[in-house]
Structure formats: structure tokens, C-alpha cells
Amino acid sequence: MTRQLVATALGRTKADLVIRNATLVNVNSGELLENQDIAVTGDRIALVGEASHTIGSSTSVVDVRGKYVAPGFVDGHVHIESSMITVTQFARAVLPWGTTTCCIDPHEIGNVLGVPGVRLMLDEAQQLPLKVFVTAPSCVPASAFETPGAQIGPMEIEEMMQWDGVIALGEMMNYPAVLAGDEGVHGEIAATLHHGRVVEGHDTGLLGRELAAYAAAGITSSHESVRKVDALQRLRLGMYAMLRQGSAWLDVPETVKCVTEAHADPRHVCVVTDDREPDSIVRDGHMNHAVRVAIEHGVDPVTAIQMGTLNPAEHFEIAREVGSIAPSRLADIIVLDSLTQMRIDRVFADGRLVAAAGKPVIEFERPSYPDVARRSVHLSRDLKPEDFVVKSPVARGEVEVRVIGALEGSVLTRQLVRALPVRNGHVQPKVDEAILKTALVQRHSGSTAMGVGFTHGFAFGKGAVASTVAHDAHNLLVLGTNDRDMAVAANTLADVGGGIVTVVDGETVALVELPIAGLMSEQPVEEVSAAVSRMYTVWQDLGCRWISPFMTMSLLGLTVLPELRLSDRGLVDTVKFEFVSPFA
Amino acid sequence: MTRQLVATALGRTKADLVIRNATLVNVNSGELLENQDIAVTGDRIALVGEASHTIGSSTSVVDVRGKYVAPGFVDGHVHIESSMITVTQFARAVLPWGTTTCCIDPHEIGNVLGVPGVRLMLDEAQQLPLKVFVTAPSCVPASAFETPGAQIGPMEIEEMMQWDGVIALGEMMNYPAVLAGDEGVHGEIAATLHHGRVVEGHDTGLLGRELAAYAAAGITSSHESVRKVDALQRLRLGMYAMLRQGSAWLDVPETVKCVTEAHADPRHVCVVTDDREPDSIVRDGHMNHAVRVAIEHGVDPVTAIQMGTLNPAEHFEIAREVGSIAPSRLADIIVLDSLTQMRIDRVFADGRLVAAAGKPVIEFERPSYPDVARRSVHLSRDLKPEDFVVKSPVARGEVEVRVIGALEGSVLTRQLVRALPVRNGHVQPKVDEAILKTALVQRHSGSTAMGVGFTHGFAFGKGAVASTVAHDAHNLLVLGTNDRDMAVAANTLADVGGGIVTVVDGETVALVELPIAGLMSEQPVEEVSAAVSRMYTVWQDLGCRWISPFMTMSLLGLTVLPELRLSDRGLVDTVKFEFVSPFA
């Protein structure tokens, strides 16, 4: 293969594709270079410079005079499942926005289906022009407080590290276990380091000695910075600071000040998407959006593009494959109308035009999924309204209850205490104060075990919503103003194999079907986005007017984020890391 | 192991070593940070920041207030054999100068002993505080024009890539074969890429499409830049530009202009030593010297230190082990009195103090070497003066002869044509014009086969010199004013097992014994340096007054460098790559 590239570079054989007269964003040298040609043979770049001698009668020549050419974006941290679409549909959705490589952490499907779920994602990606590298999910379950569909430990990590395409241990979000010296998580890290792979971090707000201790575990990235100081301390401790611009976390404007104000060397700074809902992809784009936000907040465009290409590629030690436009690299190339606006004109992946003017120009084959992926919502029986009852220690009046305080646009919750009314010995939600009953039903092993509590923030005036997307164990989350609608919502999802449903007065008023592992749709992103939009319209009509409320809702069960969460086994104080009584 | 580091960082267990109050050269963030502590447990860094909580009764505390602390240097390209000392003696020699990691290309010993020679270097390094990573020699022989002691091809590369500590394919100096699409060299590259390893480059003066073609072969570094444009083009094509500051090549002042004048991103720029003679190590230092020269030529000190630490570590994908001071990295730490002068006060390697005030403070065990390494000069019989005769096509008068034009301080030679006197049908050297007879005798298989020619430049007025260090096949090089001294010189080296000898009127007047593979001494660098100095004094007395003449001399047989070279099989035009007649 190298022989072929050499022959093309010298003009002995002709290129398959030559892009001519580009203004090249050279991320390797950190320069904008005018009048550059790029010669491509097969799926790789043979030459950058002057390429007329590589053009033959069958060479496809694309003149891009007046336009910029940059490497395809490399998303250093992304959960495809968060976009609610399959890997194939995700490729179709993000390639037109210039994302040609994703380092995915399939820990959502890992929590549902275990190692075979990870394999499923990797295998599906093999046929796609989108390069998908896998970071093996490290926290399945995220903590011992949850019941996932499968468990992943050092043995499973050891197995996955031997797969082609697995480049890292996925975000080690169980940082309390890391700091406590837990043998399981350190065993996973040891297996990863033994294979010469990278360990990805996910910590919330660690600083100083605790952050140093986290880094001492061999963890060399973190995407949880929300302030300048977070990013700066991570860089100083030898971690890559991955700055998030997802749908619900908009960290770049603040965190990028580590470069624009503190003037840290930007080489270890990446912009990543982490989680993007389908409608944000359709509306704002993907990695091009994250890079654009960095530029809007004062980062030089070439540096910002490095943050979305070369930097993550170097972090994962895949920079000889992707992340720059240079001989021998894969020909993942984007053509831009505007550097600052990150308007993508055309996208080449593996040397092939895959998108133009924001639309895919190739066909994507529809893969088939095994039954185990299609039928992942297992309840032992239909749920009944009385399953959701919260018995009060007092028969009537009011009772002080621990309430999860959800916050718009935040991954964090507050631990609130509210007085809730008691009727017939049952604690009632306080709908007019946006305090709803919340249940997490174990959906993996055919049980109806559930934890029930209360959440403040989602201002639904009536009805109930349910979701099989409920980080990270992805049990069946139900949030409602009354027990009857909650039961109907849960049973509806069990029937359709998963998704998000809104039920009012016993009737389904919005449904987003996500039949693959209860997480993903096989429909194109535009259709899923439309379905989610319809759902949000319904939610707004019902009184819930937050931006991206679903992302916040779906984290109510994530027992590694402060301060109070609900699992299928009960209410968890995620500061002290212990189960707590619903009653204060 | 990570558990222990975490425990120390949190103060649960105490550090073995704490360095306090440093002004830290933070190569990860590109900053100078004051009042930093570094806590070390075992051989790794547990914490950087404030470390008082990690200090216990058995913690060794080193206060370095007022001094700078930087990571130990990483030499990205170095041939230990060029320093004429064993790996152990090399470690003892360079650790006090702050070099704690070397990426070596043992292709000198590889040419003499083959794969077992490479293994010997790697095994010897295991016990040392100097980290030695091996790039597997790619060009043994350097070209088909030479007869080495062993051959290395794709099969041997495949074998070595499976060894721990082998991180790359060594400098692919046979660039004509790369450009010609030769199956052998591309097979070596394929084996390397298959194992996910880096391919090192060595090209001379390639630019434009030829350089692109060379990069298209998957080669991602080059240390042969001599001009700004060389370095800049390499950076732009996605190669690391390794800027040499060896004994005989002083490239940094000119090449570093790619950063200081052209303002290329310095992240892919490294300074390397390549080849340093023992006396330059003793006098000027090692990597600290290369970094100092970069600073002297306008590079910001932190950036220059990155060029000698983090940048090469990232290139070789060993940055999670070495190249920066951060939690979980190996505790290779240098203390500097002066940042710009690169004056090294103390050196820690693997968390242990190994040198202070320029001297080693630990003992180095003397390894034992197998007989095959100790007895590597194999001639079938003593050489006689008549073995060196060059028969002329004319019986008397003069004859036009192709003469190798050596150049002081340069790796290049010129192809000269000179009229040389003929006596009794034998071509004579022209000693008063510094044209000496030159022979390369095959020393590996017990033959006396040799190529004989003439060299201009070494102004010895009488006598002869011989060397078993003769890149890259390391046959027996003899340069003389008369055939008798040439024979005596050659036979003397065969007797002592190799080295460099100077003979005048049949008597040995200087001898540097290099009994390990005919390349290396087991003596300390100071003694070898003194022996070389004594030899240079003799050479100067004999009329040869060049700076570092030996390095230039030892390349006379390197058939991959322009323009004219001598091998054991005859004279080689290394521009056209063909054997040529000695007669013009």
C-alpha cells in the first residue's frame, strides 16, 4: 500500500482524486497555506503540495480555489447512543458536518447488553466511512448503586483491549473508587496500561491533590471541566483537557479561557461533543459547531481546528491515521466556505466524497440487529398504578421528603428537602411546585423492582413521561404527576421495545421509539429529531419549558454525579455515596 | 501500582521522595510554575503541586528553592555506538547531563552482529536508570553496495517489533529504495505499521514531491534537515523535524529557524544528538547542549525544553511514561541552576538520585559480553602492503582518478577527479595535496576482500590510520600515505579486536581500543575521550587539523550519502547509485 502511495506522489501512477488550489489548514505546522493540492490514492493521501504530475485521465479533479481545506474532525469523546440513532444513522448525520472520526464510549449499550453490545457498535462501524474507535466502557455499572443489564470488569476490559479498534479505557467516572484504591477499577486500568492504551477520565470538579491522585492512576484526559481553572489544572497535570460542547453542556466558552486568557499550550486541549441530541445535530451541526464556538470565544481558527483534529488524534495515538492532511494519512478531508463560521461545503472520507452542501451523497446500508438488541425491555409483568405508591411514615398531613433538585442545562442535581402532602398514607407529588414522582424500574432481567422518589424541576402540569434512556444503567425511568399515567407510560415502552413516551390521561401523546437496546432508532436523524421536537412541543404544552430537558432528565439515575440520584434500588446520596431514606 | 500512587497523592501513604519549592518547567501546559512540589513513590510521580501532606518520617525531602525543575531529556535519535562506549558507560556518561531517556538506533552493532547485537543493547539497558527504547535498524546493510556482518529484512523487523522496548523502525536511510518501491524496505515498513509502531526517517535533502513520496511511505520523522526549508517542509508534511546537534553535525542554529523565523508550531520539533563523540559529551554535555543551542538561537526556554522532552516522547507514543513531570509518569527529573545555560545540578531517574554536580552518584555494574561481541574482527590472514596496491591502466606518468572529496564537519562528500602519479604501474597517493589511499576491508566473514580508492581532505603527512568503526557496515577502514603502514594498522586492529589506530613507520603511535563489536569500549567516557584526544593530538601533529575528523572519516564508506563513497566491493557513485571505476 505504501508503495502505491509513493508511486502516486512521484507521478509514476496517477491519483484517484486531486483536490486543487486549496487554502490548507495545516494542523501539523500550525499554518494556513495557500495554493495547495492534495493527491489521493485509494483511501489515503499520497501528496500535499503541487500535484499536477499526479493527474491522469481517470483522476477526479476537484478545484476548491477560494475555499479552505481542513482535516476531517475527530471527536475525542462522544456517546453515539445520546443522539438516539444507530451508528449507521449517526455516520449519515455527522459526516455532512465534517466529523469523520469518532472516539466513542459505548457505555450506554454496554450497560444494557454488556460486551456484546460494545462489539455490536464496533462491528456496525466497520463498513462506514466514519472512522469509529472504541473506548471500552469502564463503569458498567457506573456504580454499585445501580443494576445494569450486564457487568464489565477487569476480565472484560482485558478481552476488549485485544480487539482492533479499541483504543482506550472509556471514561473512568467512578472516581471515588479510583481515589479509594478499589481493586476493580484499578484492575481495569492495569489491563489497559498493560496493552499500551490510554485511560480516559471523567471526574466532576476534582482539583488539587484529589485531581493529582486521579491523574496518578494513569488517567490522561478529562472532559468534565466547567471552569478555566478546571481545564488549566488538568493540563498542568498532564491530562488532555477535553472541552465539551454537547447539547446540554456548553462548556467551551468558559473552559477555553485556559488558552485565551491563561495562555496554556493548546496542544493538549480538545473540543468534544460528548452527548448531542438529534435536534442539535440537525440544527447546529456537530464537531464543526464545537470548533466554531471555540473560535467565537477567541481561539485562533487554526488552533481551534487543531483542537478538533490533531490534538485528539495525538491523545489517542491515532495521529498517523487521522487528524491531519499529510501523506500516508487517511484521506478524510473537509472543504469549508468559511473558516470562522465552520460552514462545510464538502466532505471526503477515505478519499471518497460522502457529503456536499450539508447532505450525504452516498447510500448507507441498513444493518440488521440481533434479537437481543431489539428486545431489551424486560419486565416480568405489566406495571400497575399501585406499584408506584410511596408509603408515608405518617398517615396524613405532610412529610419532609428528600427531593432531587434538577437544574436546567446542568449535569448536577441538588439535594432538596420539601414538605409533601400525604393522602391515605401515601406521599403525593406537588405538581404545582414542579415536584413529580419519579421511579426507576429495573428493566434488564425481567423484574419489576424499582426505586421511587421525587424530583423538582420538570414542570409537567399533568400526565407522565417514561424513558428507557436513563443513564447509565438505562433502566426504565418514569416521571409523573399521577400513578396511573406512570404505569401506562412504562408499559407502553415495554411494548415497543424502548424509547421515550409521554402519556396524559392514559393516552400516549408523544412517542419516540428507540428499539435498539432501548436507546437508538434506526430512523434518520431528521426523523428522530422531528419526533423529539414533537415531544418537546408536547412537553412545553404540559408546562416543561427547559432547554434540552430530556438530557437532564435522563441523568436523574446516574449515581456518580452529585448530589442526589435515584436508582432502581432506591435514593442515593452521591456526595456521601450511600443509599438514603426518601424521608429527611 | 496505580493504587500506591493514588494513596500517596492523597497522603494516605507517604512519598519516598519529595522535591520541594521548585520552579517547574511544565512542558504539558507550556508554563513556568513557581513553588511546586513533586511527590514520588517508587519510580513514579504521585503528585505535582503542594505535597506537604505526602511527607512522612522516611520521606527523603529535597528543597530546590531558587532552582528550576524539568523532566529528564528524551533523545529522540541517538546511536550509542557513536560515542564509542557501551550502553552502561553511555548511561553513566549522559545521565549527569540530564538525559534520562534515549531512543537508540543500534544499527552499528546491527551491521556487525545482526539481530543478536540489537538484543544485546536492549538487554544491557534493562538494569540501567537510563531508559533505552530501541528503533529496530532498518538498513542492514545500508545499501546493497556494502557487505555487513549480518542482514536485517522484513522477517527480522517482524521479530523485533514483538520485543518489549522496540518502539519504531529505525531510520529508513535507504530512501532511493523507498522511492523506487523496493519490496524489502516497504516490507519492513509494513511490518512496523502492522504493529502500530512509528517509522523513522533519514533522507538527505529531499524536498517537494520526493519528500512527499517519502512521507507517503508512512515515515513520520526526519533528522536530516540542514536548512530552515528542510525542517519546515517536513513539519508541513506531518513529519517530526528532529534537529541535530551532534559532534560533527551542528544543525540546530540553522534549522530551528523553522520556529523562530517561520513560526511553525513547535510541537513536532525535536532536538536530537544523533552521534556524539566521547569528548563532546565530556566537554559540552549531551541533550542539555542541544537544548541550550536552541535557546541561544532564539527559542523560548520552555519551548526548547519541550523539544528535548515532551515532543520526542509524543512522537514515539511514550509520553505517558516519560517526557514530562506529571502524576503517573516515571520520576525522571532534573534540577537546573540555570534555564538558559542548561546547567544541571542534580538528576533523578526512576525516582532515585543518579547524578549531582555533573557526576554520577550511583555505581554501574559492569556487564559481561559474549565472545561473539568481543571477537568481531575476522580476517583470513595478516594483510600485506601489496594487498593495498592500486594497479594503473598506464605504467607511468599520471592517471585521472575519481577521488572522494571529504569536507570538514560535513556528512557529504564531493566526487573529485584528480591526476595522480603512477609508479611501476601502481597509482600513488598525493600526500602533499592531502590525497591518501583508502581501503575498506571486509572484516566480518574472515576474508581479505577489499575496495581501494583515494580520498582528499585528511592531511596526514605520513603514516596510516585504521578503524573498525566505518559506517554503516563497519568493515575495516584504512587510510594511509603508504601501503606498509596501512597493512600494519589493519593487522593491529585485527589483533586487539577493533578500534582506531594510527601507525607511523610501522609503529603504533595512537590506539583507541573498541573491543565490543569493534565499536565500543568498556572504559568510562572520560578515558575513551582522553584516548581519542591523544589520537587527535597525534593526528594534528601529522597534519590533520579538522574539527572532529574521525566522524567524517568514519562515513567514507557509507554508501547512502552523496556523492562518492568506498565500500569493501569498490567505489560507489552515491548520486547515481552504481559502482564506478576508480579511473575517470
Which of B3, B7, B216 has the CB atom closest to A5's CB atom?
B216
User: Is residue A12's pLDDT more than 90?
Assistant: yes
Chain B nearest C-alpha distance from A299 (Å): 15
Find the closest chain B residue to A167 by CA distance. Answer: B196
pLDDT confidence of residue B2: 97
User: What is the spatial distance between Cα B418 and Cα B398, in angstroms, rounded to a whole number?
Assistant: 9
pLDDT confidence of residue A330: 98
Nearest Cα residue to A344 out of A386, A307, A292: A292
For residue range A262-298, what is the model confidence (pLDDT) as tens digits?
999 999 999 999 999 999 999 999 999 999 999 999 9
User: What is the spatial distance between Cα B181 and Cα B184, in angstroms, rounded to a whole number?
Assistant: 9
Find the closest chain A residue to B221 by CA distance. Answer: A320
For residue range A343-370, what is the model confidence (pLDDT) as tens digits?
999 999 999 999 999 999 999 999 999 9
User: Is residue B249's pLDDT more than 90?
Assistant: no
One-letter amino acid at B151 equals Q
Q: Residue by residue, what is the 3-state secondary structure of B25-79?
A: EECCCCEEEEEEEEEEECCEEEEEECCHHHCCCCCEEEECCCCEEEECEEEEEEC
Q: B575 versus A143: which is more confidently predicted?
A: B575
For residue range B123-165, what is the model confidence (pLDDT) as tens digits?
999 989 999 999 999 999 988 899 999 999 999 999 999 999 9
Which of B265, B306, B324 has the CB atom closest to A238's CB atom?
B324
User: What is the spatial distance between Cα A391 and Cα B398, in angstroms, rounded to a whole number?
Assistant: 116
* Spatial CB neighbours of A381, under 8 Å, sequence gap ≥ 6: A448
Q: Which residues from A are below 8 Å from B49, CB to CB? A: 208-209, 212
Nearest Cα residue to B221 out of B213, B229, B231: B231
Chain A nearest C-alpha distance from B548 (Å): 34
Percent of chain B at pLDDT > 70 equals 100
Identify the burial level of B371 via C-beta atoms within 10 angstroms of its C-beta, where 0-12 means exposed, 13-18 middle and 19 or more buried.
exposed
Nearest Cα residue to B568 out of B265, B80, B148: B148
The size of chain A, in residues, is 584
Chain B nearest C-alpha distance from A236 (Å): 5
B328 contacts A215? CB cut-off 8 A: yes
A186 contacts B2? CB cut-off 8 A: yes
Which of A186, A209, A327 has the CB atom closest to B215's CB atom?
A327
For residue range A489-510, what is the model confidence (pLDDT) as tens digits?
999 999 999 999 999 999 999 9
User: What is the spatial distance between Cα B80 and Cα B172, in angstroms, rounded to a whole number?
Assistant: 18
pLDDT confidence of residue A163: 97
Q: Which residues from B are below 8 Å from A7, CB to CB? A: 181
Bin A205: left if φ > 0, else alpha if -120 < ψ < 50, else beta.
Answer: left
Q: Which residues from A are below 8 Å from B183, CB to CB? A: 3
Find the closest chain A residue to B268 by CA distance. Answer: A28
- Grid coordinates standing for B488? 600494519
pLDDT confidence of residue B547: 83
A328 contacts B7? CB cut-off 8 A: no
Neighbours of B410 (CB within 10 A): 16
* Spatial CB neighbours of B381, under 8 Å, sequence gap ≥ 6: B448
User: What is the spatial distance between Cα A31 and Cα A34, in angstroms, rounded to a whole number?
Assistant: 10
Q: Across the strands, what pairs with B244?
A: B272
The sign one gets for the Cα dihedral B316, B317, B320, B326 is positive
In this structure, of A142-151, A441-450, B330-339, B509-518, the range with the lowest mean pLDDT score is A142-151
A10 contacts B47? CB cut-off 8 A: no
pLDDT confidence of residue B407: 94
User: What is the spatial distance between Cα B342 and Cα B157, in angstroms, rounded to a whole number?
Assistant: 37
A326 contacts B209? CB cut-off 8 A: no
For residue range A171-195, what is the model confidence (pLDDT) as tens digits?
999 899 999 999 999 999 999 999 9
pLDDT confidence of residue A142: 83
pLDDT tier for residue B411 given thresholds of 50, 70 and 90? confident
A190 contacts B238? CB cut-off 8 A: no
A28 contacts B268? CB cut-off 8 A: yes
- Grid coordinates standing for A6? 509513493
This model's pTM is above 0.90: yes
Chain A nearest C-alpha distance from B320 (Å): 8
Cis peptide before A563 (omega within 30 of 0): yes
B178 contacts A236? CB cut-off 8 A: no
User: Is residue B248's pLDDT more than 80?
Assistant: no
Residue B439 Cα to chain centre, angstroms: 24
pLDDT tier for residue B373 given thresholds of 50, 70 and 90? very high
For residue range A424-460, what is the model confidence (pLDDT) as tens digits?
999 999 999 999 999 999 999 998 999 999 999 999 9
B30 contacts A264? CB cut-off 8 A: yes
B329 contacts A237? CB cut-off 8 A: no
* Spatial CB neighbours of B284, under 8 Å, sequence gap ≥ 6: none
pLDDT confidence of residue A67: 98
pLDDT tier for residue B1 given thresholds of 50, 70 and 90? confident
Bin A517: left if φ > 0, else alpha if -120 < ψ < 50, else beta.
Answer: left
User: Is residue A248's pLDDT more than 80?
Assistant: no
Whether residue A175 contacts residue A199, with contact meaning beta carbons closer than 8 Å, is answered with no
Which of A6, A189, A324 has the CB atom closest to B2's CB atom?
A189
Nearest Cα residue to B472 out of B116, B111, B188: B111
- Grid coordinates standing for A171? 471514561
B31 contacts A2? CB cut-off 8 A: no
Phi first, then psi: give them for residue A212, nearest 5 degrees: -60, -40
Phi first, then psi: give them for residue A528, nearest 5 degrees: -65, -40
Mutate to test the interface with A, among B197, B207, B237, B329 (most CBs of A within 10 A): B237
- Grid coordinates standing for A361? 451523497
One-letter amino acid at B329 equals R
ipTM of the complex in this document: 0.93
Residue with cell 519510580: B43
Q: Across the strands, what pairs with B399?
A: B420
Nearest Cα residue to B120 out of B445, B152, B112, B524: B112
Whether residue B91 contacts residue B350, with contact meaning beta carbons closer than 8 Å, is answered with no
Whether residue A324 contacts residue A314, with contact meaning beta carbons closer than 8 Å, is answered with no
Whether residue A134 contacts residue A121, with contact meaning beta carbons closer than 8 Å, is answered with yes
Q: Which residues from B are below 8 Å from A183, CB to CB? A: 3
Mean local confidence (pLDDT), B398-422: 94
For residue range B458-486, what is the model confidence (pLDDT) as tens digits?
999 999 999 999 999 999 999 999 999 99
CB pairs under 8 A between A and B: 197
